[in-house]
């Protein structure tokens, strides 16, 4: 099973890319692009175009249009105090042409493209309903195992647990903050003194005192962790 998907629909002047980076993410993205007057397409790397994130609930509502259960659906997205109007609607009662409007971007899909989009979003929803809500048994087992052997693991890592009550502050007993690295990952488990982080499908327990930046104790949200290098090297996450 492929974990990430991307499908582009480009015309002469406007294009969209529908994507999902992981089946465990409870959302998908639609990126919109226009061809500039010089004939060059807008580039995401230059902060051009428009990207909108759609939740599971919103995917359901889009599918109601694609499945001909309703003629149109619209919503307002707010990001950094900027509102973006989103519309999905059929051009007429024949339901042969679908219009997708995201802010100033308008994309027309023909019958074949619309069917591909319908199948893709149906697949997204089926996958995400399963994997974004799945409680991984192995994670639960590892949390229990960690709790049972907490003292043993503490001795191995030489962690000063007395300073871990404030997880977002620096622990003076650990190496200085400049001896750190930024890694992206997802929190998939937590105890009082550590978090289980998924680093690109490799899960490791990280002491909260070894994380030197603010982070959310929320599962399955991709975020950045500023972690002491000594623990990363010990876990072979860096060389």
197 burial type by CB count under 10 A (0-12 exposed, 13-18 middle, 19+ buried)? buried
pTM: 0.57
Q: What is the pLDDT of residue 46?
A: 78
pLDDT band with cut points at 50, 70 and 90 for residue 190: confident
Structural tokens at position 1: 């099973």
pLDDT digits (tens, 9 = 90+) for 159-181: 333 333 333 433 444 444 568 99
Q: What is the pLDDT of residue 145?
A: 54
Higher per-residue confidence, 104 vs 134: 104
Structural tokens at position 32: 């919109």
Percent of the chain with pLDDT over 70: 80
Q: What is the pLDDT of residue 44?
A: 76
**Angstrom distance (rounded) from CA 18 to CA 120:** 9
* Inter-residue contact 139 to 146 (CB < 8 Å): no
Q: What is the pLDDT of residue 131?
A: 86
Structural tokens at position 144: 């229990």
Query: CA of 82: how far to CAs of 78, 88, 188, in Å?
Result: 5, 20, 31
**Angstrom distance (rounded) from CA 166 to CA 169:** 6
Across residues 184-199, what is the average pLDDT? 88
Of residues 185, 130, 187, the one with CA closest to residue 3: 130
Secondary structure (3-state) at 220: coil
Strand ranges of the sheet holding 105-109, from the earlier edge strand across to the other edge: 72-79, 82-90, 98-102, 105-109
Dihedral angle, C-alpha 136, 139, 143, 145, nearest 10 °: 120
**Angstrom distance (rounded) from CA 42 to CA 14:** 10
- What domains sit in the chain, N to C, each tagged with a CATH number? 5-131 (2.30.31.10), 137-234 (no CATH)
């Amino acid at each position: 099973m492929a974990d990430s998907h991307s499908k582009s629909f480009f015309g002469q002047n406007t294009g969209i890319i529908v994507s999902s980076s992981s089946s465990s993410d409870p959302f998908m993205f639609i990126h919109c692009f226009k061809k500039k007057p010089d004939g060059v397409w807008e580039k995401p790397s230059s902060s051009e175009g428009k990207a909108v994130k759609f939740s599971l609930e919103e995917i359901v509502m889009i599918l109601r249009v694609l499945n001909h259960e309703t003629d149109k659906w619209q919503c307002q997205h707010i990001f950094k105090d900027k509102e973006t109007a989103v519309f999905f609607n059929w051009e007429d009662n024949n339901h042969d042409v679908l219009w997708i409007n995201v802010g100033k971007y308008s994309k027309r899909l023909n019958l074949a493209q619309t069917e591909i989009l319908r199948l893709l979003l149906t697949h997204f929803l089926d996958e995400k309903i399963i994997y974004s809500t799945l409680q991984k048994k192995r994670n639960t087992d590892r949390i229990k195992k960690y709790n049972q052997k907490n003292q043993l693991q503490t001795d191995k890592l030489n962690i000063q647990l007395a300073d871990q009550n404030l997880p977002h502050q620096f622990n003076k007993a650990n190496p200085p903050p400049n001896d750190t690295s930024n890694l992206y990952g997802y929190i998939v488990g937590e105890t009082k003194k550590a978090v289980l982080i998924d680093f690109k499908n490799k899960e490791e327990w990280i002491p909260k005192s070894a994380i030197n930046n603010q982070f959310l104790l929320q599962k399955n949200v991709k975020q950045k962790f500023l972690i002491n290098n000594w623990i990363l090297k010990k876990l072979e996450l860096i060389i």
